[in-house]
Structure 1
Amino acid sequence: MRLAYHLLDVFTDQPLAGNPLAVVPDAEGLDPALMQAIAREFNLSETVFVVPPRDPVHTAALRIFTPALELPFAGHPTIGAACLIAQLRAPDMIGRQPLRLVLEEPVGPVVCEVVRVQGALRASFVAPNAPQLLGEIPDRAGIAAAFGLSEAEIGFDGHAPVVASAGLPFAFVPVASAAALDAIAPDFSRFGAAFPLERPAVFLYTRETVDPAHHVHVRVFVPGLGAHEDPATGSAACAFAAVAARFERPEDGEHTIVIEQGFAMGRPSQIALTMRIASGALVETSVGGACVRIGEGVLVF
């Protein structure tokens, strides 16, 4: 068997930054067990397999695997796959106008748009599920122990630890300063007790950013999803819209939050989170970012 694959860096316009991704663009007929084995071989946070859509009016269907399990939805695989599909199938159209794709994922159809901006490919998608707050996390002592923080370093300006989801649930932990966030020491053995999630995934954030043009500095840990720290997490960014809407109470209109992530890993990433607020409620969420193709090859086995 010979399978072509492509390697991309997502949520960056620079090679060897952002979140790396492997995409197998012609995966029709592959058994899910083989997909899982290939994802384990690549050993990236996610590998995407592109297969024909169930609904012929859609562009394609995606199967997304971490090294350990299949996911119903993930952000950087959606952005990367959308950019690659557009580049392979309609390279001339991208330069003339935004290209709309509908990608089927287990969570549902995901509407994407791909454009070329100053030579770089960028994609965005509308969150397939409305971001929702699922509850508070009252055990600040447990959170502090899980990250080597003091309880006083958890929270700022009314922000408190919560669980939110836009298809995948994450715990969101506000941290008072960038210095505290940079100095955390995660103890994954404590995650199960500290966070009320079947598969622990934690998004820690502070307002103190590396780039003053950005709005939120983030570190994300996903041991429950088959990885440790993640350099860019689009699905968590989607869910963060519910957190921002709850604690910031933005006025009606469209708001964009630029999230910086991956700096502690040497893989700086930028995620654009756009929220539309109407009558005080979050009515639409989209996530976007750039993508760079850095390699390709053939699997032979």
Structure 2
Amino acid sequence: MRFTQVDVFTDELMYGNPVAVVHDADGLGDEQMAAFARWTNLSETTFLLAPTDPAADYRLRIFTTGGELPFAGHPTLGSARAWLAAGGEPQRPGQLVQECGAGLVRVREDGSRLAFAAPPLRRGGPVDEADVRQVADALGIDRADVIGAQWADNGPGWIALLLRSADAVLAIEPRGFGELDKVGVVGPHAPGGHADVEVRAFYPGSPGEDPVTGSLNAAIGQWLIGSGLATDSYVAAQGTRLGRRGRVHVERVDDDVWVGGDTVVGVSGTVAL
């Protein structure tokens, strides 16, 4: 089977977040997909299949090393790039439609970048005070440092916290999450810098921090733009503490929040499955 590995949210290989993509995977079973995802040991591995919805250009299944996700951001963009690089032609020029566990997700070609329309949240709204305190303690920060907290679950299950500055985000040294799910943290950079906000994404287990996270940035964008805490277009930096240079371009167009970034094909070949 054809195989592609794509670095996402970067214009230079090795500075974004990689995703492994298996093409024409209709003949694979669930356990084969799960086993291969465990073997690649990346945050996500995806499988391109024929769509079941006539409105879709392809169907995508997304696996972590621990199981399947209904949606994830950087795998969506990386898989779209792999599909196009393999000769895929969308029904509508310049716009792809991906079928996945979360439904149909639109992906547009935005110059040299790709961008997906943020899917509806499965869970939004404010986080209970007890949960905010628990998350703050897990992150090793004072409750007073948190100026906003929202559920940001569009599939992976994020809780998002807003801190006062990018420096405060970069200074976080997590203590351990225990039974907590995934936590995203965002804080503003000073005007005129390389990005408008800094984002970090934490989850239980090892290594415990994701380099660049499309799903989290999508939900944060819906929250910050929708509440007037951010402008209709901004750039998020992520992965700084991990030696990455992730750049996520977030933009509201009409009723949609689009999440985009550069993608670089790093590995092309075949895999024997």
Larger Rg: 1
Same fold (TM over 0.5): yes
1:204 to 167, 171, 185: 185
Aligned to 2:221: 241
Distance in 2 separating the partners of 1:152 and 1:163: 19
Q: CA deviation at 1:227?
A: 6.0
Alignment length (residue pairs): 271
Contact 1:131 1:239 in 2 (8 A): no
What RMSD, in angstroms, separates the aligned Cα atoms of the two structures? 2.6
Secondary structure of the residue aligned to 1:223 is coil
Aligned to 2:125: 134
Deviation per residue, 1:145-201 (Å, 9 max, x gap) = 20111233222xxxx122123344311112223333223221334453xxxxxxx11
Distance verdict in 2 for CA 1:260–1:137, change over 3 Å: farther
Contact 2:177 2:204 in 1 (8 A): no
1:113 aligns with 2:108: yes
Contact 1:24 1:50 in 2 (8 A): yes
Which consecutive residues of structure 2, in runs of 5 or more, have no partner in the other structure? Answer: none
Q: How do residues 61-140 of structure 1 correspond to structure 2 at under 5 angstroms? A: 61-90=59-88, 99-114=94-109, 116-117=111-112, 122-129=113-120, 133-139=124-130, 140=132
Aligned to 2:164: 176
Aligned to 1:46: 44
Q: CA deviation at 1:223?
A: 2.7
Secondary structure of the residue aligned to 2:39 is helix
Distance verdict in 2 for CA 1:292–1:89, change over 3 Å: same
1:284 to 251, 256, 261: 256
Distance in 2 separating the partners of 1:130 and 1:170: 10
Deviation per residue, 1:117-167 (Å, 9 max, x gap) = 3xxxx2111123258633323134323320111233222xxxx12212334
Deviation per residue, 1:11-37 (Å, 9 max, x gap) = 111111110110001211100111000
The residue type paired with residue 284 of structure 1 is D
Aligned to 1:187: 175
Q: TM-score, normalised by structure 2?
A: 0.89
Identity %: 33
Q: TM-score, normalised by structure 1?
A: 0.81
Distance in 2 separating the partners of 1:267 and 1:108: 31
Distance verdict in 2 for CA 1:147–1:81, change over 3 Å: same
Distance in 1 separating the partners of 2:161 and 2:179: 13
Which consecutive residues of structure 1, in runs of 5 or more, have no partner in the other structure? Answer: 193-199, 278-282
